[in-house]
A and B are shown apart, each in its own frame.
Chain A
Amino acid sequence: MNPIISLSFIDYLILAAYLVITLVVGYALKKYMKSSEDFFLSGRSLPSWITSLAFLSANLGALEVIGMVANSAKYGILTVHFYWIGAIPAMIFLGLFMMPFYYNTKVRSVPEYLKLRYNEATRGVNAFSFAIMTLLMSGISMYAMALIFRMMLGWSLTSSILLSALVVLIYVFFGGLSSSIYNEVIQFFLIWLGLLPAVYVGLKAVGGFSGLAARLPETFLHAWKNMGSAAANPMGVDWMGVVLGLGFVLSFGYWTTDFLVVQRTLASENISAARRTPIMAAFPKMLVPLIVVVPGLLAVAILPEYSLALQGSATPDYNSALILLLAHYLPNGVLGLAITGLLASFMSGMAGNVTAFNTVWTYDIYGTYIKKNMPDKHYLMMGKLATIFGVLFSIGTAYIVQSFPNLMDYMQLIFSFFNAPLFATFLLGMFWKKATPWGGFFGLLSGILMAAGHYVLYKLNIIHYSSEMAANFFQAWWAWLTDFGVTILVSLFTRKKAESELKGLVYSLTPRTKGSEMFWRRPEVWGSIALIVMVILNIIFW
């Protein structure tokens, strides 16, 4: 297969400089790794601008970027729902209401909170499912990267998998979460600086936003107008599905309970920085459509293979939309920068999963079920070992996912299995003091089983939806509702925890501390501003 892009010396120089700097940063962090908290939680010492950008970038993996460009080439502006209603309210909720529980209780992971609030068994279910999920996800990003580098540059699958695995292994092994977070911040800048030139030149070529709009069908241009029924818009989902499935369950489930993102907030230097982390991240998050939705729309407007698809006369490979657009507009030089941005976001996606995995493995599985009460040095060493076998396992899963045809659907599927029900368990745990330990356990378990059952029924064609996306949204919703209902039901018949045990874990039993900072540092103020901006954006693109 001929590569789409031919890189020259300068592009390779840019790529190499990035690899060198990540290795140097990782190695330089080595001497700060004295305790397990340094390694797994960055010693809870990072300022909020760093944790905010890392919080955002952990989710802005290249798979996400490429997948979302593909989505917008397929569905148009509707894709913004993943960035606005499908993210912002949840991020603000995490900062304002949930962060005090995570940060002030000094838990080191999401499963550990479940242990304090419910019981050991609930933690176990979450720890094991999360560990499996992160390894699968890390394998997916590695495989996706290898696929793209083969298509783009003609590199072989195995060599790109091994190269990226080696670099990630080295810098996570030495610097732990800090390496991972620092790399995410670097990636944040690279992906923006890498993609903006293509957006700019593309918009110039079509005559600005109005010129772009003139070349697209009407359904591609509105975020809400055609949401009245599933049949009226290209995504095949109605407003109910978007609000309940994406905006409520999937988004809150992901942003508030997925340890991969929550871990970044735990690395903050104090509670107020921890609360600001997701809220300050909301602002750049709202702008991400500029570098993912606009390229998707440009691809449809300019590249013939995608504009023909509008008339139904072709079924193009949407996943290559971004790459084709980059190849179309960018000369060598900035092209190398864009490719480096993509490489950086693949690697940080992988590193994020590996660091979340080694933390949950060491604290919640190894330190709970295998070797309890060992000195801290032992767990630090275990974390480093876990990094090695985490990476090796991901290489294994990278080859397993080769057999799945559609990676994005696969990812959404994983989320609806594990994150969606978990959010119900957290909501009840944090805001309803009568939720009992076994209520939490059976609720979580039945939520996961409900998602599995729904998936089987959908695949056997017993339940029908107008699109795969709609199926995912509703699967998340039913899994959440089952968890919510079962937790309440079981809680009515099982023994409660004493109120003294729940202090600091449940909203009504936690004394509220009044913030003493100036108003411009208060998370409430910034959260409200973010929400208002989001509403305005939705009205503009209605």
Chain B
Amino acid sequence: MAGEKRSSHFFDLKIPLGFLLSFYGLLLLLYGLFGPSHIYGKSLGLNVNLIWGIVILAVGSLFLGFAHFRQKNSNQIVKKD
């Protein structure tokens, strides 16, 4: 059954997507923490890089988490067979 299913045909998109977003999140977070602070006049004093970096990092890790969980799951199914 598991062998017939064609969804294993391609690699899981969640992995590259998760890596890209986590990278962006981390980058923005660090830039928000250590980068110049005079640029936030534009955004009404809000450190958007820091805040948004955390949000994107969370989204990215969520994807990686799901991908990891799924892979583990499908490995178990294969073992049972």
- Which A positions have Cβ atoms within 8 angstroms of B? 10, 13-14, 17-18, 21, 24-25, 28-29, 32, 38, 42-47, 50, 178, 182, 185-186, 189, 193, 197, 201, 204-205, 269, 328-334, 337
How many angstroms from the CA of A44 to the CA of B56 in the assembled complex?
31
**Contact A330–B10 (Cβ < 8 Å):** no
**Contact A331–B49 (Cβ < 8 Å):** yes
**Contact A10–B10 (Cβ < 8 Å):** no
* Most chain B CB atoms below 10 A, which of A193, A330, A331: A331
Contacts beyond the supplied A193-B56, A328-B42, A334-B52: 15 A-B pairs with Cβ under 8 Å: A10-B31, A14-B24, A29-B10, A32-B9, A32-B10, A38-B9, A43-B9, A46-B10, A185-B17, A186-B17, A201-B48, A330-B43, A332-B39, A333-B32, A333-B35
**Contact B6–A45 (Cβ < 8 Å):** yes
**Contact B52–A10 (Cβ < 8 Å):** no
**Contact A42–B10 (Cβ < 8 Å):** yes
B69 interface residue (CB < 8 Å to A): no
**Contact B42–A331 (Cβ < 8 Å):** yes
- Total count of chain B residues near the partner, CB < 8 A: 31
* Chain A residues whose CB sits within 8 angstroms of the CB of B52 once the complex forms: 193, 197, 334, 337
* Chain B residues whose CB sits within 8 angstroms of the CB of A44 once the complex forms: 6
**Contact B10–A337 (Cβ < 8 Å):** no
B28 interface residue (CB < 8 Å to A): yes
* Chain B residues whose CB sits within 8 angstroms of the CB of A178 once the complex forms: 10
Q: In angstroms, how far is the closest chain A Cβ from the Cβ of B23?
A: 6
**Contact B17–A14 (Cβ < 8 Å):** no
How many angstroms from the CA of A46 to the CA of B8 in the assembled complex?
9
Query: How would you classify the secondary structure of chain A's contact residues: helix, strand, loop or mixed?
Result: helix
**Contact B20–A18 (Cβ < 8 Å):** yes
B64 interface residue (CB < 8 Å to A): no
**Contact A331–B39 (Cβ < 8 Å):** yes
* Chain A residues whose CB sits within 8 angstroms of the CB of B9 once the complex forms: 32, 38, 43, 45
How many angstroms from the CA of A38 to the CA of B6 in the assembled complex?
11
How many angstroms from the CA of A21 to the CA of B6 in the assembled complex?
25
How many angstroms from the CA of A38 to the CA of B9 in the assembled complex?
10
CB-contacts of B47-75 with A (<8 A): 48-49, 52-53, 55-56, 59
Specify which of A17, A42, A204 is in contact with B24 (CB 8 Å cutoff). Answer: A17
Q: In angstroms, how far is the closest chain B Cβ from the Cβ of A186?
A: 6
